[in-house]
Structure 1
Amino acid sequence: MFVFRKGYLVVSSFKRYGVALAGVVFHLMIGGVYAWSVFTKPIVRETGWRESSVAFAFSLAIFFLGMSAAFMGQLVEKFGPSTVGTISSIFYGTGIALTGLAIHNRQLWLLYLAYGVIGGLGLGSGYVTPVSTIVRWFPDKRGLATGLAIMGFGFAALLTGPVALRLILTIGLVRTFYALGLFYFTVMIIAAQFIKKPHPHELPTVIAQNAARISLTNQEMTASQAVRTRWFACLWFMFFINITTGIGLVSVASPMAQNMTTMTPATAAVMVGIIGLFNGFGRLAWATLSDYIGRPLTYSLIFVLDVVMLLILIIFKQPFIFALALCLLMSCYGAGFSVIPAYLGDVFSTKELGAIHGYVLTAWAAAGMVGPLLLSWTHQVLHNYYVTLVAFIIIDLLAMIVSLRIQKGFVTHHLTESA
């Protein structure tokens, strides 16, 4: 009996790490969207389109990612992650392949439909597919689990970029999209079949006992109940501010460093690559830290660090200090993505976490428009970045206050429950 039980525990542990691995692979595929800048100039040369027109396809894809995630999150709860993952593989693979057709036929509207709309729908459904499922498999290590999966999304550009450049040189731009579309579809549809929710008996007993507490609020909420709470509104606002700051800075990191310091274009290009690593590793590091100190305190620390580093960007002109501050800011940007799913699970339980996570991702769609536009507009009008950095400090301070109030609210709630 003991041997059987020991073997059962090994199988259960192996299965949950297998689900996590499948989730990482899945996010590595859809995270290729961050390598769009690699394709921008080749597409411009091939078609004659303006660079801004080509770049808009990426913004459109991110917008549809955020907006579709809310709907797709509900489908994860209703039909299961494998089904939604399969849908994602079809949409994303088709969108990438049709992008090649749009370039071949030189039809800009088809580029927006293929990459922006169809690909964006694939991104939205693919992003929510593994995250909530992995949280359910790792109730004892929610932060670590989501950090691993979402780190895959952050690091994907480092893999896709060099591969895409090699393919463009060997088989041409159009065929590169055809090949990537087929590759993404094949890998994603296989990985999706391994991403399944755990049955109650599939979690080792010790882990199930560690996850006995339903949530920080001691309530198990549905998605429709969760979105009506002040907790959700506060978390949405915090997530929105975090992304607005991060995505705004990453969109102008190179020119801002050259403008505000003595950094050369070559050095700035190296810095951009390094901050990408901090973005990826920050997702895992902060999420893992949150398992030990709790999600409320982690999010508060993220905004504290944001404010301090933004002040350093304004005050210090030395390239090394400026670059270091940007790197830490990018780690906070990545942290927002990896910590929020576990935070939502802590507050509302994992009953309908996929749907709740999908709803909060609408903040990504909004911030993706606000952050870059705010920076580009203020720089165009005022010819400097200082006013926008001050604006970012103000909104991060507001988010920090909200985060501290949430943290205090949970402490008060538990004291009341104990009494």
Structure 2
Amino acid sequence: MSMPIAPPGWSRWLVPPAALSVHLSIGQAYAWSVFKPPLESALDLTGTQSALPFQLGIVMLGLSAAFGGRWVERNGPRRAMTVALVCFSSGFLISALGAATGQYWLIVLGYGFVGGIGLGIGYISPVSTLIKWFPDRPGMATGIAIMGFGGGALIASPWSTQMLDSFGRDGHGIALAFLVHGLVYAVFMSLGVLLIRVPRAPLAADPLPAAPAAESVRTDTGPQVSANSAIRTPQFWCLWVVLCMNVTAGIGILEKAAPMITDFFSGTSAPVSVSAAAGFVALLSAANMAGRIGWSSTSDLIGRKNVYRVYLGVGALMYLLIAWFGDTSKPLFVICALVILSFYGGGFATVPAYLKDLFGTYEVGAIHGRLLTAWSLAGVLGPLIVNRVADAQKEAGKSGATLYGLSFTIMIGLLVVGFVANELIRPVHPRHHHIPSPRKAADDERSVRTEQHPA
């Protein structure tokens, strides 16, 4: 499967829809909390146990992105999207078998391990391609695609709830829901595989266009740092901490969203129903999605460091408001959670552009993949903190909002750590910059000409 190079006249605006078809599918991961209560009931699991497939999926997302980033850069987005399609859909099919037979380890293996590989490869596959197509607006471009990952649960949450209502919330019903997910997402993701294209590399004789054109987009301006050099810089690790802290704070709410809002208002005069909790998950998904395009586009105007100051500083304030007043006002709880999730999504969408500003486009896909190991750790930390604290408080006889007070305090501290790390980020020293050799540039040019005009 050769790398699909765009022909002359190809519109770069066809690339975001290709990325969206993949990201909207793998974004189903954010609707996992819909499956938690029925799985806990059907298989007699605790909240911590039912979080395992999601946690492992996020761990594998980061690891597969880290180890597969350079492979994606070399083989192109089409091959990567195909691998993502096979792994993600297969993960659901394996999980369906596990639910049908009552073997929870198969759900962990399928959804968490196999599906998690699909998450990681699918997540990074279009990102560097989009940055190359939109060097003038990298925040907006990556925001459009990564918006789909955040918005996937907006579709998957009510869809999954409806299937569980129709099929049943026992093992058989959960298995059928997993089966339908796997088949439908395979078809939808194939649209992106067929549509994706990479820009024609600028040749020596090509004039630099006034605005990026479909057939020739120049992406080699500014500092250019290789992936191996990038991980030796303090900027990479400061940004790693920033991403890890921001993700931990957001994913802690997202993974347990449905049971959390139910617990918060269980002892009040206005308890939250199962359907309303699913609606809350969908609202969080909408905020996650809107934050990805909204905040990442804003970063093109105010700068990456400033927008991360908002994510981390205001995010800590939102957690503080929930911890103090969340159980007294349902609108306050919902609004604060929506703001936190908009920052969570915005952080993901902004980070590729932040990397592009710091390290250039030379190996930004591989650098992005390695940075996503921060997501792997956060995917364990966030749910672990919230679920373990809630389980411990429940064992101590507590209920309602008191199940989450300590975990929210921990999240505030993590956001402060991320804020400090963001302040420490400075431009990369020139000694780390990579300058391609004339021979390599000539080889690249010859390779592109051969692919476009084969003998």
Q: TM-score range by the shorter chain?
A: 0.7 to 0.9
Residue ranges of structure 2 left out of the alignment (5+ in a row): 1-6, 431-455
Name 1:365's counterpart in structure 2: 376
Name 1:123's counterpart in structure 2: 119
Name 2:28's counterpart in structure 1: 32
User: Residue 126 of structure 2 aligns to a residue in which SS?
Assistant: helix
Is 1:69 aligned to 2:65, yes or no?
yes
Of 347, 351, 356 in structure 2, the residue corresponding to residue 340 of structure 1 is 351
Is 1:324 aligned to 2:335, yes or no?
yes
Once the two structures are TM-superposed, the CA of residue 176 in structure 1 deviates from its matched residue by 3.8
Once the two structures are TM-superposed, the CA of residue 263 in structure 1 deviates from its matched residue by 6.2
Cα distance in 1 for residues equivalent to 2:100 and 2:77: 34
Contact 2:133 2:212 in 1 (8 A): no
Letter in 2 for 1:70: A
Of 258, 268, 275 in structure 1, the residue corresponding to residue 265 of structure 2 is 258
Once the two structures are TM-superposed, the CA of residue 204 in structure 1 deviates from its matched residue by 8.2
Cα distance in 2 for residues equivalent to 1:386 and 1:319: 16
Name 1:305's counterpart in structure 2: 314
Q: Higher helix proportion, which one?
A: 1
Cα distance in 1 for residues equivalent to 2:208 and 2:189: 28
User: Residue 410 of structure 2 aligns to a residue in which SS?
Assistant: helix
Contact 1:139 1:207 in 2 (8 A): no
* 1:18-417 aligned within 5 A: 18-43=14-39, 48-50=43-45, 52=47, 53-168=49-164, 169=166, 173-201=174-202, 205-208=209-212, 218-250=222-254, 251=256, 253-254=260-261, 257-258=264-265, 264-266=271-273, 271-316=280-325, 317-379=328-390, 380=392, 384=402, 385-406=404-425, 409-410=426-427
Once the two structures are TM-superposed, the CA of residue 152 in structure 1 deviates from its matched residue by 0.8
Cα distance in 2 for residues equivalent to 1:182 and 1:214: 40
Q: Deviations over 1:94-151 (max 9, x none)?
A: 1212222222333222222222111111111111111221111111111111111111
| Distance 1:191-1:230 versus aligned 2 partners, 3 A rule | same
Q: Deviations over 1:56-114 (max 9, x none)?
A: 22222222112211112121112111111111111111121222222233322222222
Q: Deviations over 1:151-184 (max 9, x none)?
A: 1111111212333344452695434433332222
Between stretches 351-360 and 373-382, larger displacement belongs to 373-382
Cα distance in 2 for residues equivalent to 1:203 and 1:255: 60
| Distance 1:247-1:42 versus aligned 2 partners, 3 A rule | closer
Cα distance in 1 for residues equivalent to 2:44 and 2:263: 26
Contact 1:60 1:116 in 2 (8 A): yes
Letter in 2 for 1:59: Q
| Distance 1:38-1:304 versus aligned 2 partners, 3 A rule | closer
Once the two structures are TM-superposed, the CA of residue 400 in structure 1 deviates from its matched residue by 1.5
| Distance 1:100-1:229 versus aligned 2 partners, 3 A rule | same
Cα distance in 2 for residues equivalent to 1:112 and 1:146: 30
Contact 1:262 1:319 in 2 (8 A): no
| Distance 1:373-1:36 versus aligned 2 partners, 3 A rule | closer
Cα distance in 1 for residues equivalent to 2:340 and 2:355: 23
Contact 2:238 2:424 in 1 (8 A): no
Contact 1:261 1:318 in 2 (8 A): no
Q: Deviations over 1:315-337 (max 9, x none)?
A: 44443333322221121111111
Cα distance in 1 for residues equivalent to 2:363 and 2:22: 21
| Distance 1:309-1:43 versus aligned 2 partners, 3 A rule | closer
| Distance 1:99-1:256 versus aligned 2 partners, 3 A rule | closer
Cα distance in 1 for residues equivalent to 2:112 and 2:63: 12
User: Residue 207 of structure 1 aligns to a residue in which SS?
Assistant: coil
| Distance 1:203-1:70 versus aligned 2 partners, 3 A rule | farther
User: Residue 94 of structure 1 aligns to a residue in which SS?
Assistant: helix
Between the aligned residues of both structures, percent identity stands at 34
Between stretches 132-141 and 274-283, larger displacement belongs to 274-283
User: Residue 279 of structure 1 aligns to a residue in which SS?
Assistant: helix
Letter in 1 for 2:181: L
Once the two structures are TM-superposed, the CA of residue 260 in structure 1 deviates from its matched residue by 11
Once the two structures are TM-superposed, the CA of residue 54 in structure 1 deviates from its matched residue by 4.1
Cα distance in 2 for residues equivalent to 1:17 and 1:313: 40
Letter in 2 for 1:221: V
Between stretches 318-327 and 36-45, larger displacement belongs to 36-45
Q: Over the residues paired in the alignment, what is the CA RMSD in angstroms?
A: 3.1
